[in-house]
């Protein structure tokens, strides 16, 4: 609870412009580019996996760019995924003490129907 309160307090000190920049929606790269930022590479790798742990994301990075893995990449990947999760830009589920991150993408179209009689006024 204290951690959440301190994060909230720090966010209150940001100007509107700074807040919008810090918490803008996550942009997922359409392809993997070796010259891209580490964050974009990590996000792309997670998107390719659908859901994954830090270890699985690093394995995907290594698959996409052999020879990339080192101790610094492990630390950066943990930092990026944790940071995006803390900002609410990624979802995560703790399974047996290991965080599994995902992008909350809708992967199946809605096959339901809408009953216009049940819509709130003004939504029809």
Q: What is the pLDDT of residues 26-48, one digit of tens each?
A: 889 999 999 999 999 999 999 99
Integer Cα distance of 31 and 79 in angstroms:
22
Radius of gyration of the chain (CA): 18
Domains, the chain, with CATH or none:
2-102 (1.10.10)
Least confident among 1-15, 39-53, 85-99: 1-15
Token representation of residue 57:
């994301």
pTM score over 0.85: no
How much is the pLDDT for 109?
59
* Residue 46: closest CA among 101, 92, 89: 101
How much is the pLDDT for 104?
79
pLDDT of 99 over the 60 cut: yes
């Amino acid at each position: 609870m204290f951690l959440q309160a301190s994060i909230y307090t720090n966010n209150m000190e940001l100007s509107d412009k700074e807040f919008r920049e810090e918490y803008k929606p996550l942009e997922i790269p359409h392809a993997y580019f070796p010259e891209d930022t580490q964050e974009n590479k990590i996000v792309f790798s997670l998107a390719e996996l659908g859901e994954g742990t830090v270890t699985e994301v690093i394995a995907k990075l290594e698959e996409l760019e052999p020879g990339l893995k080192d101790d610094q990449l492990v630390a950066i990947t943990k930092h990026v995924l944790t940071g995006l999760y803390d900002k609410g830009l990624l979802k995560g589920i703790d399974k047996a003490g290991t965080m599994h991150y995902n992008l909350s993408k809708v992967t199946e179209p809605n096959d339901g129907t809408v009953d216009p009689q049940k819509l709130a006024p003004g939504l029809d």
